[in-house]
Copies of this chain bind each other. A is one copy, B any other.
Amino acid sequence: MEVDGDVTRILMGVNESSMKGYPHPSISSRNAFEWTLSKIVRSNLAGFKLLFLYVQVPDEDGFDDMDSIYASPEDFQSMKERDKIRGLHLLEYFVGRCHQIGISCAAWIRKGDPKEVICSEVKRVQPDMLVVGSRGLGPFQRVFVGTVSEFCVKHADCPVITIKRKADEAPQDPIDD
């Protein structure tokens, strides 16, 4: 019934779990995705298109690189490739789920500060809405709460859906998030 081109385009900022060595989506990203499908898209698959943006953060503290030895410019190149592959695995998860379900999608990677990049991608892509997960108020995470989502609510040029994680969904160890 719905005209092609007249779909609601939902941009989702997704991120990876911080669990080392597991390039899978964070609990918040998966929850935000499943929530969007069950509560907004519902049975109306043809009415929506999901856009996934993964923002790769330049690693400033070097923790991810504990096992790496850099001896030449090529070593840094291989690190960047590895990070890109992590991002691709993450997007593969969401694109795969969308194909299973039968909903139109697109996914891409950008580099930079997530909150700034998400807002500039909103300007560029002009989605109908932006979905951001927020890590909620787990006891170890209070200090990180809402930095990205708060910024996007204020600055993104489209309506923003903030999905907080419930306290009982927070992993015991924040490194597993």
Contacts and interface: CB of A to CB of B under 8 A. Distances in A.
Interface of A: 1-2, 8, 35, 39-40, 42-44, 47, 128-129, 146, 149-150, 153-154, 159-164
Contacts of A129: 39, 161
Contacts of A40: 8, 40
A3 B172 CA distance: 37
A39 B128 CA distance: 7
A146 B128 CA distance: 20
A43 B2 contact: yes
A125 B80 CA distance: 48
B159 A154 contact: no
B159 A161 contact: yes
Contact of A39 (B8, B35, B150): B8
A50 B44 CA distance: 18
A8 B153 CA distance: 22
Given A40-B8, A43-B1, A153 B159 contact: no
A163 B130 CA distance: 11
